[in-house]
Structure 1
Amino acid sequence: MTYRNELPSPPQRFPWYGIRTRPKQERIAANMLANKGYEHYLPVLRSKRRWSDRVVEKELPLFPGYVFCRFDVKKRLPIITTPAVVSVVGFGNQPAPIDDSEIEAIQVVLRSGLAAEQCPFLREGQRIRVNRGSLEGLEGILLKKKNEWRMVVSVTMLQRSVSVEIDREWITTI
């Protein structure tokens, strides 16, 4: 009789993937994935809506149209055949994993109890438009200098530019 001195291997943790859902069906997709036995995450924000006669507090998806799910990418058919699921986020037909630290950071922010809100994903060098303040309507290029966001406005013919500090909440991407 032989005895094995091996410990059972821990269950494999698959990477997180972004799942694009049908419009306003994030909860349905999350529940269906849970019923199929998949670990999922649907980050939500509490939002207060004021009506003329009352105030209603609702939980709204932090990323409308998306749910996160852990799964083996080689066995994704049960995921993509889920009725509320549109696709797995990736490049072409190849799903792209999301780093655990990014999901953990979102979880920490939402658990903190601090006021969190959606904001546009800003990338340095991106074209932006100012929506509020004295610069409303201006367009330029986003620049980050030290710890501040700046908008660069250029005169192409002169090959000269000027940058101005802007409030991140006043801009949208073009």
Structure 2
Amino acid sequence: MIESASSIGTSWYVLQTKPRQEFRALEQLENQLYTCFLPTLQIEKVRRGKLEVVIEPLFSRYLFIQLDTVSSNWARLRSTRGVSKLVAFGDRFATISEVILNALGNARPPIPTPLFAAGEKVAIKSGPFSGLDGVFQMLDGESRALVLIELLSQPQKLAFELDTLRKIA
């Protein structure tokens, strides 16, 4: 997955992107024939009231780029859409080992982390039960969840829209 940087004068560098523009920067850089790597993961999120599995960057606002330290036109990087800057510490640009990138590229993709787990405490954010706490039981379709709350000193299992719930730390 990761091309070797074994030729003389090439290294992998850390590139910072503009907020939420990692995929845009990756596409633009690849269109300019740069070799890049953006590690990603799948997570569950509530979008438009429905639970969806989405692909997000593993490192928010960062991707890795292979550059020729001798002949690359680094100024062109700054004007690329989605790119903020090359990460530097003082006057040295941040590099990353090819071994680490290979480990990231060959890692087994994790199973999407569920938004809520059975038995987890949740708070109801809106609606007639706003402000009450409950215990998440299970998903009830694509956009609803069953939550155990205590009403009139009796446990009640009620269905709530996913976007009305939040985890309690």
- TM band (smaller chain): 0.5 to 0.7
- What percentage of aligned pairs have identical amino acids? 26
What is the alpha-carbon distance in structure 1 between the residues aligned to residue 48 and residue 81 of structure 2?
37
**Superposition TM-score, scaled by structure 1 size:** 0.53
Match of 1:98 in 2: 96
Give secondary structure in 2 for the equivalent of 1:46: strand
Q: Which residue of 2 aligns with 1:141?
A: none
- CA distance in 2 between partners of 1:41 and 1:54 (Å): 30
Q: Aligned partners of 2:50, 2:80: CA distance in 1, in Å? A: 37
Q: 1:12 aligns with which of 4, 7, 32?
A: 7
1:52 CA drift (Å): 8.2
Q: What's the CA shift for 1:78?
A: 1.8
Corresponding pairs, count: 105
Query: What amino acid is the match of 2:92?
Result: Q
CA contact (8 A) 1:18 1:89 kept: yes
Secondary structure in 2 aligned to 1:106? helix
Return the offset for 1:48. Answer: 1.1
Which among 55, 59, 72 is matched to residue 51 of structure 2? 55
1:36 matched residue in structure 2: 32
Partner Cα separation in structure 1 for residue 94 and residue 69 of structure 2: 9
Q: Name 1:64's counterpart in structure 2.
A: 60
Is 98-107 or 66-75 further displaced after alignment? Answer: 66-75
Measure, in 2, the Cα distance between the counterparts of 1:57 and 1:114: 12
Question: Retained in 2: the 8 A contact 1:73–1:95?
Answer: no
Displaced runs of 4 or more, over 6 A:
none
Q: CA RMSD in A?
A: 2.3
Larger relative contact order (C-alpha < 8 A, sep ≥ 6)? 2
Cα distance change, pair 15–29 in 1 and its aligned pair in 2 (3 A): same
Q: 1:96 is matched by which residue type in structure 2?
A: A
In structure 2, the gaps of 5 or more residues are 1-5, 114-169
Gaps of 5+ in 1: 1-10, 118-174
Report if the CA contact (8 A) 1:48-1:55 is conserved: yes
Distance change >3 Å, CA 59–CA 87, structure 1 → 2: same
Q: Higher strand share goes to which structure?
A: 2
TM-score (norm 2): 0.55
Alignment of 1:107 onto 2:105: yes
